[in-house]
Structure 1
Amino acid sequence: MALTDEAINKIKGMVTSGELGPGDRLPKEADLAERLGLSRNSLREAVKALSLIKILDVRQGDGTYVTSLAPNLLLESLSFVVDFHRDDTVLEFMEVRRILEPAAAALAAERMTAEQLTGLRKVLGDLGPDPSVEALVANDLEFHRLIAEGAGNSVLCSLIDGLSGPTVRARVWRGLTQDGAVDRTREQHQTIVEAIEGRNADLARSWTTVHIAGVEDWLRRALR
């Protein structure tokens, strides 16, 4: 095992064991290196790596701290990683959306507050009668983000948010080339909102599945 990897694992062990908790300050570099049996260079590289993935927060002149370890923070790097996807994997991202987002809609039907529902309705109303493709896609992204947020599960919300990026180009492509895409999107969004407002989790799940599967099916045929 590389020395840096060993250092990462040892710090990780301190966090997962509860020895270091969210917001705790790490011991001074020299003390920690001696305690873990590591060189200061290996420890420094490990801290740098763990700070990049939001496990540690290096504060110049103050010290190094464990972050809040909140799911949205830890999964932030997912968005960065998925930006490197290849075009031939976009269908796989669509499949994952089809698995996760109907579940989020079902939870939203049970958990969304009146204020959140008002915000979701506003997104529907913000889309004018003849929107550009760019406006439609931006509206669509916000619509799905609000539903994921309304599910009341920060891990699920972060995963959905992180996975939305790779499908943006496909959404634009569909809006430009498929007849009736704008009206279909608007109508399906409306039915999803009505299901959520009616607190009908099964219906919200079903309509969201139809909505995403329709885009996935179009993309699958287009790529052939």
Structure 2
Amino acid sequence: MPITDEAIEKIKGMIVSGELRPGDRLPKEADLAAQLGLSRNSLREAVRALSLVRILDVRQGDGTYVTSLEPKALLDGLSFIVDLHHDATVLEFFEVRRILEPAATALAAQQISLETVDSLRDHLGRVTGESSVEDLVENDLEFHRRIAEAAGNSVLYSLVDTLCGPTIRARVWRGLTQEGALRRTLDEHHAILDALAARQADVARALATVHIAGVEQWLRKAL
């Protein structure tokens, strides 16, 4: 095992074991290197690598800390990778959304509050026949985010939120070029929300699948 990888594994082991907890400050470099039996150079490289994936937070002049380790923070690295992909892989993002979002919608149906349902109805009501395609797409993104949040799983929410970005242009393109796309999107959103309000998890899952698959199918033909 390369020395840097060994150093990463040892720091990770301290976090997994609970010796280092979220928010803890790492010991001084010289002390930690001696404790782990590492050179200061290999420890420095390991810290640099772990800071890139948001496990450690290096604060100049203050020290190095374990981050909150919250899913959103850890998935920021995935967001960076997602942003590097171009239109050639946008269909793959839709495929992943088609797997994850219906599951999130079904989970939300089991526990969504009446207050959240009412809030979502108000949110959908902000889109009218006079709204622009861009406004509809922004409303659409927020609708899906709130449903994923209502599922009560922070990892699932973070993944759904991260995967929304690469599909924005395709959604706008569809809204501008496909006849009836805007009305269809609104109707599908209201149908999903009705299923959520009725706590019909299977129906909500099916409607969400059809909703996302419709855009995916259109994009496959368009490309």
Give the CA deviation at 1:198.
0.8
Distance in 2 of aligned mates of 1:64 and 1:121: 45
Does 2:152 match 1:152?
Answer: yes
- 1:64-119 Cα offsets, whole Å, 9 max, x none, are 22122111221122111101113221111101100110111111111112222222
Give the CA deviation at 1:128.
2.1
Instruction: Indicate the RMSD between aligned Cα atoms, in angstroms.
Output: 1.4
Q: 158-167 or 31-40, which moves further after superposition?
A: 31-40
Of all paired residues, the percent bearing the same amino acid is: 70
Aligned length: 223
- Which residue number corresponds to residue 24 of structure 2? 24
- Which residue number corresponds to residue 77 of structure 2? 77
SS at 2:58's partner residue?
strand
Q: Partner letter of residue 217 of structure 2?
A: D
Within 5 A, what are the aligned runs for 1:65-104?
65-104=65-104
Distance in 1 of aligned mates of 2:196 and 2:58: 42
Q: Partner letter of residue 40 of structure 2?
A: R
- Which residue number corresponds to residue 10 of structure 2? 10
Distance in 1 of aligned mates of 2:48 and 2:117: 41
SS at 1:98's partner residue?
helix
Which structure 1 segments of 5+ residues have no match? none
Distance in 2 of aligned mates of 1:217 and 1:96: 14
TM-score, reference length from structure 2: 0.95
Give the CA deviation at 1:156.
0.4
- Which residue number corresponds to residue 171 of structure 1? 171
Which structure 2 segments of 5+ residues have no match? none
TM-score, reference length from structure 1: 0.94
SS at 1:210's partner residue?
helix
Does 2:46 match 1:46?
Answer: yes
